[in-house]
Structure 1
Amino acid sequence: MTLRVLTAIEPRHEAAVMTRLGAIATIDVVRRCPDLPDLLAAGAAGLADVAVVSAGLRGLDRDSLAQLREADVHVIGLIGDDEAEERRLRQLGVATIVPADSGPEELREAIERLAASTPHTEIGDAEWAALESGLDPAGRPADDDSEAPHDAAKGRVVAVWGPVGSPGRTTLSVNLAGELAATGVSVLLIDADTYGACVAQVLGLLDEAAGMAAAARAAEVGTLDLATLARLAPRVDPGFRVLTGLPSADRWPELRAESMTHLLDLARGLVDVVIVDCAFCLEDDETLSYDTRAPRRNGATLAAIAAADTVLAVGAGDPVGLQRLVRGLPELREHSGADPTVVVNRVRASVAGGSPERRIGEALDRFAGVSVEHFVPEDPVAFDRCLLSARLLLDEAPKSLARARVRALAATLPAVAEPAPSARRRIRPRSATIGRWSTA
């Protein structure tokens, strides 16, 4: 069987490689593409089975490789003598890589072997973990903090979602992360809200830091590894890392779904628990459905929810907030691989009547078939003090009922050890200016 091949090769290698490909009887080079757009167009037109692509091809990124995969075109990476080229291709997800000076027989074997595989079997989970770990020869991240890597399959992802109306997604996410870190569990808090990221402000961090924008950009171009992620997600306390959100909501096209998926896969190998503060909107951008490759504003949220081991659905404890929660849960379940854990936040008798937790629980169970597993009471004084000082409940109001409920919720998350008093840590955010206030 003759295999159809596209090429997009740098000029310094093109003549020699084309000569060798031409000597292979079972391969038909159907098009020599001068640039990435031509390669993508030829792949989308169904002209080939395999594409031979140089590592230095201008514009090559994770999104373009995804387009080739969707067109059922397998990709072989072509590299020179630079080890960085191979590393970049590996991080982009290219599993089959051959040197530019390979002979005809080596090229033939690589192309035929790849064409006989499927996109899902080109590389195994174990190999992905090794390629994406960013380890040095001694098995440690190549950064300056000497933090030991985790098994890529070990880390758990917790997505925190809530409907429109500020039900307390960020407040819960930040305090959950703090409670986990206080027990000795390593945590990465990711602000993936493309509408109103505010984790940096809540923790008193500079929102001008690279954070999520830089991580997404690195994931897209294939330079995000474990060491880079550790550098972009600084510690606010031992065991508590934060990846701040987009500094401006109009930069949402920078955060793509595939980059988010890659980021979460990598984060699993960095910490025990990854907490993702998601945006409220779950629409699948239907107005853009005619162009499946266009950026999706809700892509990061949907990717995080789909990848999560645990999804927390947070609703405000008032009639409007509960109605929004109930209406949003069916759509949330469509995108989630796990049944959401319902958390009712800001519970107060002034709007729900006497015994508000019992009333809310009975009403949701009777009229909506929703079982509430956790309640967090309203405590405006404690939460206002936390915002003013850019600190957490465990520091500002350690004996409050709200803090006790958040701590109890944290203890139910998978793979979380029982809290140990000796592991108690206090969060000391960096100095930052928030509005007119300066926090330390």
Structure 2
Amino acid sequence: MALQVFTAVTGAAWESELVGALDRDDHGVTVVRRCVDVGDLLAAATTGTGQAVLLSADLRRLDGAAVARLTAAGVAVVGLVEPGDTRATERLRQWGVGRVLSADADAETIARALREAVTGERSAGHQIGDPRAALPVLGLPPEESDRPVGRGRVVAVWGPTGAPGRTTVAVGIADEAARLGVSTLLVDADVYGGVVAQVLGLLDESPGVVAAVRQASAGTLDLAALARLAWAVGPQLRVLTGLARADRWPELRPQGVEVVLEQARRLAALTVVDCGFALEEDEELSFDTAAPRRNGATLTVLAAADEVLCVSGADPVALQRTVRALGELRDVLPDVEPAVVVNQVRRGPVPGDPQQEVAAALERFAGRQVRAFLPADRRATDAALAGGRTLGEVAPGSPLRAGLRALAAELAGVPASTGRRGRRRA
């Protein structure tokens, strides 16, 4: 049975000849619709009449979100670019197109790529490898030019509602890792109320993560672009600030967030992401429409992270919220195994030894052991917040800072005793 294919190849003189060649019976491909733009293509994809699409990189309004919607509709995507157009090839790769061919390829080669895209088979001649390998490394700021580029780790800092201290933990881990000599990127991806910029005394009007996701969706985000968008607040620490207003959450498209994280792995050895708390998936939006989902960015970060830290408070109410949140995470992302970090540990909210009581409660009701206990130090955190500085700057001897330092060293895989004290530069 012939493979049913859409085409969306515009602005090229060879489009008619290509469609005619693909329609020949000996290729096993039948063109069921020739789409003129992205809207026409997405509408055709929802009909279920096509199994694959052959599209050109210059298709009007094509972006990563459109490719993601095609994939979600069960339509395999093969890209065509003008011969020698490497920029268009890189752009399609960033958008998630798994196979990209030159437009001068013969019809049999293109038909074979379409069949392989549908069946999921890998072909050495047509397989697109790791997209990161094709992205340019040139254009970095001078201080980054000598830094080796590799695959860094992503740590997601997440937790239930109720202010258990997610941002405090995320900022503390990032700052301490940087002080330990680890190149670090701190990303504010909280779609409900990200305040990393305010905590560090940065301007919240800076473009930050929204601009990075926008460039990722347009296929123009590379290593140099991400480095320009992130604030350099120290020799080893960069910050990608979050949403200036919570109502701008639709701009954090999951597909764009995923590309940002891939570039972050190249920019820094450790990327720490401050996430939102909510995990609910709206079934109507998930299955009936292609509308953006507010928690899509959080779910994308948690699924892509190498390690997920669930930050919990140490009082009975916070522990109950944590138990429920861990259950929700297990239902939504069963493959994610979070590590629990209990913050604000102090005597009073629970009887007896707080660490023993909290550990026993989480083991009993959530089946989780505690990765780290962080003591409450209100005086130090108030001083840091008032000055827009980190604990390492305002309270180097704080027990909370010591706990964050030990956790950062463990996550970064470096000794905790090799850090250097120093001031952040503006």
Do the aligned partners of 1:36 and 1:59 also contact (CA within 8 Å) in 2?
yes
Q: Which amino acid aligns with 1:351?
A: P
Q: Which residue of 2 aligns with 1:6?
A: 6
SS of residue in 2 equivalent to 1:220: helix
Q: Which residue of 2 aligns with 1:96?
A: 99
- Which among 335, 338, 349 is matched to residue 337 of structure 1? 335
Displacement of 1:121:
4.5
Q: Which residue of 2 aligns with 1:433?
A: none
SS of residue in 2 equivalent to 1:344: strand
Q: Which residue of 2 aligns with 1:231?
A: 228
SS of residue in 2 equivalent to 1:191: strand
User: Measured at CA, do residues 291 and 223 of structure 1 come closer, stay the same or move farther in structure 2, by a change above 3 Å?
Assistant: farther
Distance 1:369 1:127 in 2: 37
- Which among 335, 341, 357 is matched to residue 359 of structure 1? 357
Q: Which residue of 2 aligns with 1:34?
A: 36
Identity of aligned residues (%): 48
In the alignment, structure 1 segments of 5+ residues that lack a partner are 431-440
Distance 2:259 2:120 in 1: 16
Q: Which residue of 1 aligns with 2:131?
A: 128
Distance 1:161 1:220 in 2: 25
Do the aligned partners of 2:94 and 2:259 also contact (CA within 8 Å) in 1?
no
What is the aligned residue count? 416
Displacement of 1:206:
0.9
Distance 2:207 2:372 in 1: 34
More displaced 10-residue stretch of structure 1: 316-325 or 113-122: 113-122
Displacement of 1:200:
0.5
User: Measured at CA, do residues 288 and 96 of structure 1 come closer, stay the same or move farther in structure 2, by a change above 3 Å?
Assistant: closer
Distance 1:150 1:311 in 2: 23
Distance 2:112 2:361 in 1: 62
Distance 1:125 1:34 in 2: 26
User: Measured at CA, do residues 339 and 23 of structure 1 come closer, stay the same or move farther in structure 2, by a change above 3 Å?
Assistant: closer
User: Measured at CA, do residues 356 and 72 of structure 1 come closer, stay the same or move farther in structure 2, by a change above 3 Å?
Assistant: closer
More displaced 10-residue stretch of structure 1: 264-273 or 16-25: 16-25
- Which among 207, 212, 231 is matched to residue 204 of structure 2? 207
Distance 1:351 1:178 in 2: 29
- Which among 302, 307, 310 is matched to residue 307 of structure 2? 310
Do the aligned partners of 1:346 and 1:376 also contact (CA within 8 Å) in 2?
yes
Do the aligned partners of 1:92 and 1:222 also contact (CA within 8 Å) in 2?
yes
Distance 1:149 1:94 in 2: 27
User: Measured at CA, do residues 186 and 378 of structure 1 come closer, stay the same or move farther in structure 2, by a change above 3 Å?
Assistant: same
1:192-231 CA-to-partner distances (Å, cap 9, x unmatched) read 1000010000011111111110111111121112221121
Do the aligned partners of 2:116 and 2:122 also contact (CA within 8 Å) in 1?
no
**1:293 aligned onto 2:296:** no
SS of residue in 2 equivalent to 1:288: helix
1:394-424 CA-to-partner distances (Å, cap 9, x unmatched) read 12111111111111222222x5211354x41
Q: Which residue of 1 aligns with 2:376?
A: 378
Q: Which residue of 1 aligns with 2:145?
A: 146
Q: Which residue of 2 aligns with 1:349?
A: 347
1:19-70 CA-to-partner distances (Å, cap 9, x unmatched) read 2431342343322212111111222223333322222212101121122223
TM-score computed with the length of structure 1 as normaliser:
0.87
Displacement of 1:125:
8.2
Q: Which amino acid aligns with 1:150?
A: V
Distance 1:194 1:321 in 2: 21
User: Measured at CA, do residues 322 and 120 of structure 1 come closer, stay the same or move farther in structure 2, by a change above 3 Å?
Assistant: farther
Do the aligned partners of 2:326 and 2:366 also contact (CA within 8 Å) in 1?
no
RMSD, matched Cα: 2.4
Displacement of 1:107:
3.3
- Which among 38, 59, 75 is matched to residue 61 of structure 2? 59
**1:16 aligned onto 2:19:** no
Distance 2:98 2:355 in 1: 53
In the alignment, structure 2 segments of 5+ residues that lack a partner are none
SS of residue in 1 equivalent to 2:136: coil
Q: Which amino acid aligns with 1:33?
A: C
SS of residue in 1 equivalent to 2:416: coil
Distance 1:290 1:407 in 2: 43
SS of residue in 2 equivalent to 1:108: helix
Do the aligned partners of 2:63 and 2:217 also contact (CA within 8 Å) in 1?
yes
**1:158 aligned onto 2:155:** yes
Distance 2:88 2:107 in 1: 18
Displacement of 1:369:
4.0
